[in-house]
Amino acid sequence: MAGRMQDKVVIVTGAGSSGEGWSNGKAAAALYAREGAKVFAVDYRIEAARDTQRVIESEGGQCVAFRADVSSASDIEDMVEACIAKYERIDVLHNNVGIVETGGPVETSEASWDRVIAVNQTSVFLTCKHVIPHMLAHRSGSIVNIASIAAVRWLGFPYLAYSAAKAAMVAMTSNMAVQYAASGIRANCVLPGFMNTPLIREPLAKTYGGNVDSMIEQRDKLTPSGKMGDAWDTAYAALYLASDESRYVTGTTLVVDGGLTARCA
């Protein structure tokens, strides 16, 4: 099935991985490239983006690594300018960056709240603000936002700022979908459930009592399918939403959670 993204220019933010293995962004970047896309892999740790570039190039794909902090407006302007200078257009904006900090209103410091909102939510405003004019110029584009089921459910621990930012992503996605529907630009969200990616190891293991193996066991058990998902489950959902196969799909959320949100008891 190669070629589902043939010659499309795709920006993936957070295209590196915060540890060993496949993150959601790294897997999506690799999958887009396998399907023929020209990938602009963005991360604030340039080495992480370069690692993704190396993987893609070793498979014969096309990728450029770029350093940007998605919470910085000037970095995002530079990112868009550099992508246009290299590839002359942007077909897909894949907003993948997300950080997790736990706590409810009492435990969350103002600094933590501001950081999580800036990195998870304001970043989406900034990337869309600077990318959409280029999509409008071609009257075509697909925005794929990686939110979380934390936008719609309690996940066993308080994630106030994270949940608020992810819920805002869902709202921003449907808002933009309607505004730009007649201009050929689509916007959709993926809502991953419990995924076994490098992100969960450090910040979440603490929440689950400090033991990574026990955290994985607990998260597997909570999922009706009996196992957490992984980065490829998120990436394949994103691939569908990014590609022309979903040309009549906009303003929606695609839940990828092994049945977790469907369960009541």
Ligand X SMILES: NC(=O)c1ccc[n+]([C@@H]2O[C@H](COP(=O)([O-])OP(=O)(O)OC[C@H]3O[C@@H](n4cnc5c(N)ncnc54)[C@H](O)[C@@H]3O)[C@@H](O)[C@H]2O)c1
Single out the residue of 10, 48, 92, 235 in contact with ligand X (rule: CB under 6 A). 48
Dist. CA 37–CA 264, nearest whole Å: 40
The set of long-range contacts for 173-176, using a CB threshold of 8 Å and a minimum separation of 24, is: 173/143, 173/145, 173/147, 173/251, 173/253, 174/251, 176/128, 176/132, 176/143
- x/- track of binding to ligand X for residues 180-219 (CB under 6 A): ------------x-xx-xxxx-------------------
Among 9, 11, 25, 66, binds ligand X (CB under 6 A): 25
User: Which residues between 118 and 157 bind ligand X (CB under 6 A)?
Assistant: 119, 146, 148
Q: Are 166 and 46 within 8 A, CB to CB? A: no
**CA 131 to CA 137: how far, in whole Å?**
10
Contacting residue, 5, 29, 39, 44, with ligand X by CB under 6 A: 44
In the residue annotation, 248 being an active-site residue is answered as no
Q: Which helix (H) or strand (E) holds 187?
A: strand 185-192
CB 119 within 8 A of CB 97: yes
Instruction: Report the residue number, 44 or 180, with the smaller CB distance to ligand X.
Output: 44
205 pairs with which residues across the strands? none
Catalytic residue among 162, 180, 208, 236: 162
Residue choice 10, 29, 65, 71 for contact with ligand X (CB under 6 A): 71
Using CB under 6 A, list all residues that contact ligand X: 13-14, 16-18, 23-25, 43-45, 48, 69-71, 96-99, 119, 146, 148, 192, 194-195, 197-200, 231
Which residues are tagged catalytic? 162
